[in-house]
Amino acid sequence: MMNAEHAAGETAGSPSAGQATGITATPNPLAPFLDEQGYLILDGALATELERRGADLHDALWSAKLLIEDPGLITQVHLSYLSAGADVISTASYQATVQGFLSRGFSSDEGARLLRLSVELAVKARDRFWADEANRKGRLRPLVAASIGPYGAYLANGSEYTGDYGLSEPELVEFHCPRMEILAGTQTDLFAFETIPSLVEARAIAALLRDYPDKRAWIAFSCRDGQHVCHGERLSECASVADASPEIIAAGINCTAPEYIASLIAEAVMGTGKPIVVYPNSGEGWDSAAGEWTGGAELMGIAAHAVTWHGAGANLIGGCCRTTPRDIAALRFALQAASPPSAPPNRAGAA
Ligand SMILES: [Zn+2]
């Protein structure tokens, strides 16, 4: 089922070419979307969507648990988001780490296999979707983003939303290294470092990525108000890490209440000249002590705000926890209606 386009997009053995000349030849996977559409639609929640479909994720491995028990359900969710209009789907690896699998009695080889499987499932779903000509109309071939959660997600104790884990930058680099090394060997189009709570972890990620000059990533921070990431630093300062990193091609906000997003986009724009990524949660609160969601989802949903957010500078827009394929379909509809292709009529259909 491998198509020619796929093979062309992931040529093995090319990394050294750019390094040898000192010029980075790695194409920016976001560029065709930004040129053609002006934005990228991301997917919505994976874990909470799996739960909505009956999966039991009460486990330290969270959605990664399904990699072992029911990979077919993960494929179904990926396909739902692609059908809903997502330009990017993210893998079930957010909470999956070699360290986490080891602590559950898996060997490091098995842990590595499960991490690779998370990308294979997304790539297969994307290729299956794209093989159907009807799905290609008015679309660019969707991307796969390998999801990488913060150190706190591996701890699975809610500390990902505070960043209070007292590790230094080198210690955080060391933590992130094994998973990155495995995922770097897969066919993922880019990396999504997400729900990052602190400046020190952002710096660690930028340092880690220096060892992967042919890879591209976005970094999204979890925020506690309209200006600050969960650990307390200004989002502008955190986002500015992207400007010093050729590997980081977008920076922004995820897993944060919709009410703070407009202010946070302005904050991110102050910090970086790179594209801004935004995928808030549904507005419900996570009570980590009780292990449950509280409050009601915001009545209007993210689609109602998407046009404003795009106008304010957000280029990659999607949903995080508790958002669904319906939210993503509404989001695509809203953005398409508000910003029809800017290309002159004679270019229509050229893609
Ligand atoms: Zn989330």
Ligand 1 centroid–CA 322 distance in Å is 8
Cβ–Cβ < 8 Å for 275, 243: no
Q: Which residues pair with 190 in a beta bridge?
A: 145
- Residue 347 domain flag: no
pLDDT of residue 348: 42
Geometric angle at alpha carbon 88, from 83 and 90, rounded to 5°: 100
Report d(CA 187, CA 11) in Å as an integer. 9
User: 146 CB contacts (<8 Å, ≥6 apart)?
Assistant: 90, 91, 93, 118, 119, 183, 186, 188, 190, 191, 192
Ligand 1 centroid–CA 45 distance in Å is 7
Here the CATH number for the domain that contains residue 58 is 3.20.20.330
Q: How far is CA 330 from the centre of its chain?
A: 19
What is the domain range of residue 172?
27-340
Query: Which of residues 68 and 88 earns the better pLDDT score?
Result: 88
- Residue 273 domain flag: yes
Question: Over the stretch 283-307, which tens digit does the pLDDT of each residue have?
Answer: 766 666 776 666 655 546 788 899 9
Strand order of the β-sheet with 143-148 is 40-41, 314-317, 276-279, 248-254, 217-221, 190-196, 143-148, 88-90
- Residue 1 domain flag: no
Ligand 1 centroid–CA 274 distance in Å is 22
Question: Over the stretch 78-120, which tens digit does the pLDDT of each residue have?
Answer: 999 999 999 999 999 998 999 988 988 889 999 999 999 999 9
Ligand 1 centroid–CA 333 distance in Å is 22
Q: 344 falls in which pLDDT band (50, 70, 90)?
A: very low
Ligand 1 centroid–CA 321 distance in Å is 4
pLDDT of residue 160: 80
pLDDT at 343 over 70: no
- Residue 232 domain flag: yes
Report d(CA 333, CA 337) in Å as an integer. 6
pLDDT of residue 339: 76
User: 22 CB contacts (<8 Å, ≥6 apart)?
Assistant: none
Ligand 1 centroid–CA 195 distance in Å is 7
Q: 267 falls in which pLDDT band (50, 70, 90)?
A: very high
Ligand 1 centroid–CA 21 distance in Å is 40
- Residue 170 domain flag: yes
Cβ–Cβ < 8 Å for 252, 226: no
- Residue 6 domain flag: no
Rounded mean pLDDT of 303-316? 95
Report d(CA 234, CA 202) in Å as an integer. 12
Radius of gyration for the chain, computed over Cα atoms and rounded to the nearest angstrom? 19
| 25, 130, 202 from 219: Cα distances, Å | 21, 27, 8
Ligand 1 centroid–CA 98 distance in Å is 21
Rounded mean pLDDT of 166-192? 97
- Residue 177 domain flag: yes
- Residue 349 domain flag: no
- Nearest CA to 141 out of 73, 40, 26, 252 is that of 40
Count of domains forming the chain = 1
Q: 43 falls in which pLDDT band (50, 70, 90)?
A: very high
Ligand 1 centroid–CA 11 distance in Å is 32
Cβ–Cβ < 8 Å for 275, 253: no
